């Protein structure tokens, strides 16, 4: 009887280990890399060459190959974001809070690009 109980316990332990391993492997396969342009609030997926941006008139996130002319992509700063799936914008509130630039930081960034005046 002890051998049967031990065999059943080992069977369930092996099964649960394989299940957890399969779950971890599935999550790793779905993990997608995006670049987040915080000053423009835009995501770029380099694997698909697609952008995600928030469209104010429709109040929806839109995925496009080319951004509309009305949207300016500020190239700095840019952050790498990993997300399980394609809908990275679902974490946009977290990303905005994490990488929000204060107004004075934006001014400092723009001053870096200005040529220095000779005295």
pLDDT tens string 25-78: 555 558 999 999 998 999 999 999 999 999 999 999 999 999 999 988 888 889
Q: Is residue 48 part of a domain?
A: yes
- Residue 19's pLDDT is 55
* Mean per-residue pLDDT, 21-28: 54
Cα–Cα distances (Å) from 60 to 35, 76, 86, in that order, read 19, 24, 15
Q: Which domain holds residue 103?
A: 31-112
Number of domains in the chain: 1
pTM for this model (two decimals)? 0.61
Name the DSSP class of 38. Answer: T
Answer whether residue 110 shows pLDDT above 60: no
119 within domain boundaries: no
Question: Does the residue 117 lie in any domain?
Answer: no
């Amino acid at each position: 009887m002890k051998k049967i109980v031990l065999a059943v316990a080992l069977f369930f332990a092996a099964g649960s280990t394989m299940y957890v391993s399969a779950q971890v492997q599935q999550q790793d396969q779905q993990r997608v890399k995006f670049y987040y342009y915080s000053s423009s609030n835009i995501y770029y997926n380099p694997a698909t060459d697609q952008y995600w941006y928030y469209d104010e008139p429709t109040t929806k996130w839109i995925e496009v190959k080319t951004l509309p002319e009305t949207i300016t992509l500020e190239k700095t700063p840019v952050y790498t974001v990993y997300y399980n799936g394609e809908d990275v914008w679902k974490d946009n509130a977290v990303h905005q809070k994490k990488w929000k630039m204060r107004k004075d930081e934006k001014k400092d960034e723009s001053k870096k690009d200005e040529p220095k005046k000779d005295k």
